[in-house]
Structure 1
Amino acid sequence: MAWDDVWERVFTSQEWGKYPGEDVIRFIARNFYQLEDRRSVKILEIGSGPGANLWFLAREGFDVYAIEGSPSGVEQAKARLDKELPGWRGEVLCGDFSSLPYDSETFDAVIDVEAVTCNPFAESVAIYKEVHRVLKPGGKLYSRTFAKGTLGDETGEKISHNCYLTDTGPTAGKGPTRFTAEDEIAQLLAPFSSFSFGELARSEDQVLITKEWCMTAVK
């Protein structure tokens, strides 16, 4: 699966975020800001959307690569990079990130912000294996994924294990969403030599809206 065409409708019908989340900035800062030559660092984002994270990464001097299923998302990302950061290095491709068009051990880091979570469990396991393949030894993955308990979990049509076409909450109308239980994280990240994770939650009027796992893994 890797991508649902509902995202083409989303990216062509509504304004999307222009700036990266604090969690992504923190991951990059902790792992790569100390390097003198950022031009030597290649970072891949899977499911990059209109390119908020790519804009940030290119602005900070890194080589940026991306695989996005929505043609409109790719077009918007490339247009912003070309306009605001002429001379940026890398490429943004339209494609399926379940089969990455890159050699093994190509990237220093891979970023996933709620893209893998749009896939059933078995497919997600395979995607993380593919991410592991393209990372250099010691390379790092940052992945943010919806957790069990997010508003909309276990609503709408059930597709597979913990995966739904939700009818309420932030994922309603956005195709399949898989909600990860804490004890499933180790299975998802099994190929990696080590991993850690934390919780990011947002509530409104004392109602939990989103709960996400912020996972970092090392090849």
Structure 2
Amino acid sequence: MSCTQVIESRILEKNMKLNNYFVLLIVMLSVISITLSPVFISPKSLDIPQVHKTVDENFYNNIEVEISQNFIQTDSLDGSQIVLGESKFPTVLIVLAHWCPHCRNEVREIATFFSDYSDEQGEIIIDDVRFMSLVTSIKNDRSNFPPHEWLINENWVLPTLVDNQNSDISSALRVRSFPSYIIFDRYGYIIGMIPGRIEKQGIKNLIQQINNTVGKENL
């Protein structure tokens, strides 16, 4: 065999070895790719739990309240945080006590009035007036406790603030009777208060009065 043939034979042998290496490398990469391929988890398992408190009888013992001149933050009746403050609209806050017979009668009378006005965010806005409610003076040894069960049974749809055991919110708002209607301007400041029941017609009149006088110091 000539030198040239020997060289060509060795080159061919090296090429065959290289080809074998490439084949082996491709096989190894394929195995690695299969091993490391992403595992797709169903969206259900990636759901992030809502940060809500559990609303039960013990819920009312741990209400966290923050109050300033035109800002109130507390727990909502659904266990989430809720704020009463600046808004695009003036706000009417209906103050209720679960044990108060006048409140029970008022809620039963006006609940259906609000049921058609809930928007996508759960707010109740009627003719540019926002409505919310506050449950206060909460007593576990009095009738209709716990309040959330009472209001659910009445199909109450208003976003509802929950006062703490000391009734700090109603004290800050100087509530003296139940129910009461407190009117706030767009900046979260009180511009009026109506003690006692007003029923559906009274709410309609109040909406009109607010729209006629909003921005003034008093109604």
TM-score by length of 1: 0.27
Greater RCO between the two (CA within 8 Å, min separation 6)? Answer: 2
TM-score by length of 2: 0.27
Whichever of the two has the greater Rg, that structure is 2
